[in-house]
Amino acid sequence: MDFYQVGLFFTLICVAISFVALLRERDDIHKILVVDLIETVGLVLICLVATDLAEALILPGLVVGISELLMLTELYIRKEKLPLPTYKPIRIEVMRTAPPIITFVLIVYGIILSGFSGGAVAGIGLVFYFLCKGYEERFALLETVSGYAWALWIVAFFIFMIIPEAWLIAVMLSGSAILLKVSTKMALIGTMREGRNV
């Protein structure tokens, strides 16, 4: 019995436990959390394969999981007619002074890293800035940038497949495009708290 089968056995036990939790849960909002737990355990099934291909499959799996979670929570808010919270956001000194320098460092480091990890680092910087400083942003602009970056990413994939000799330009293109894409998408997380769409 190799490690894969042992891991599979234990993962299936985890799946069974989370399904029991879902069966016993009656509250709608808690159901969302338990379903997210089930999805995460499902991703472990992919992780167990432990090859490069499996690593590449984790990301779309995660994205689908997150988008379904977002969809379900939006639906819940709409269903229960929940209002936006009206309390005053917390204000502490660090949140006024720290964001510019930390965001600058993170974005520069993200650009150096490039690719997915760079996008995540730069995105965290932007999330921090938006959360602390508030914003007046045109969302349409962020979405447009993100859309073009995605198209460039796909173009880079086609260059890989059709003219493999031009791999360097394809790497550069996909690295910078995915940096833009991931950071703009993550920046949207920071805009959930306050501010307005101009």
Partner 1 sequence: MFNLPIEGEELFVLEFGDIVNYFSLYTTTLFLFATAFIIIAIIARPERQTDIIFGTDAVYTKEVSPDNLRFQRFMAIACGLATLGAVCSGDLFNFCLFTALIGITNIGIVAGVNNRYVLNAAYNYGIVAMVATTFLFGGAATALGSCGTLSIWELAGLGMVPLAAKMFLVLGVMGEGMAPFYIAKAEITRAPGAPYVLMIHVSSLLIFLRVIEIILTV
Contacts (CB under 8 A) with partner 1, residues 28-47: 28, 31-32, 35-36, 38-39, 41-43, 45-46
Report the 3 state secondary structure along 69-88.
HHHHHHHHHHHHCCCCCCCC
C-alpha span between 69 and 140 (Å, rounded): 23
Which positions from 161 to 180 touch partner 1 by CB under 8 A, shown as an x/- string? x-------------------
CA distance between the termini of the chain: 60
User: 129 and 190 in contact (C-beta within 8 Å)?
Assistant: yes
Minimum CB distance to partner 1, residue 29 (Å): 11
* Number of other residues whose CB lies within 10 A of the CB of residue 71: 10
Residue 194 near partner 1 by CB under 8 A: no
User: 116 and 178 in contact (C-beta within 8 Å)?
Assistant: yes
Residue 197 near partner 1 by CB under 8 A: no
Q: Which residues bind partner 1 (CB under 8 A)?
A: 4, 8, 15, 22, 28, 31-32, 35-36, 38-39, 41-43, 45-46, 48-49, 51, 53-54, 57, 60-61, 64-65, 67-69, 71-72, 74-76, 78-79, 161
